[in-house]
Structure 1
């Protein structure tokens, strides 16, 4: 992908919660955006860090030893192996930077889990 992209606009146009979409690639990582509300699931990524950047709204990331509250413009890296559970009390738009090997909800499979193929679908599908 070598086009200009607006993560804010893409996230705002999504019609599903907790369904990240890939908007760019760099080296061995994907840049994804998602519209979220409610809770995702407790999970971890054994070998990958995960960067959350808040485009709109606020997000709480529960971890076993603390809670991190992120507001618009904030970024936070969940370290590899850390169990975490993202929660948005109100609609929130996020950007994620993750290695291409990162599974959406790690080894936890729920009704909200999205495959890489789903995340790579063209925007608007």
Structure 2
């Protein structure tokens, strides 16, 4: 039996949507990475004035909360894109949590650079 052209067209559309969704997630990941590189924007003196009166614990909590905020925002965008592209095709239980956990890992990895940079400037002197 020959495959129907309609079935092939649906597979091509699904493949195109998958490639587009993956590309959007890559763009979101790069945005998350560059937003997490906060040490590039303020000068060393500005960082010292911002954080010298905070304890190490307060700085750590602030960084973690910033990571959670970024994670929530970017995972929400990713979930909306997924829902828009695949709402009738793919049903995955717990998908928002899965996307949230993936972006949480990405956010924490990206924020390590900032975290180590500030620790070396302020708390290791």
Higher relative contact order (CA 8 A, sep 6+): 2
TM-score above 0.5, yes or no: no
TM-score, normalised with respect to structure 1: 0.21
The structure having more radius of gyration, on CA atoms, is 2
Name the structure with the higher helix share.
2
TM-score, normalised with respect to structure 2: 0.21
Name the structure with the higher strand share.
1
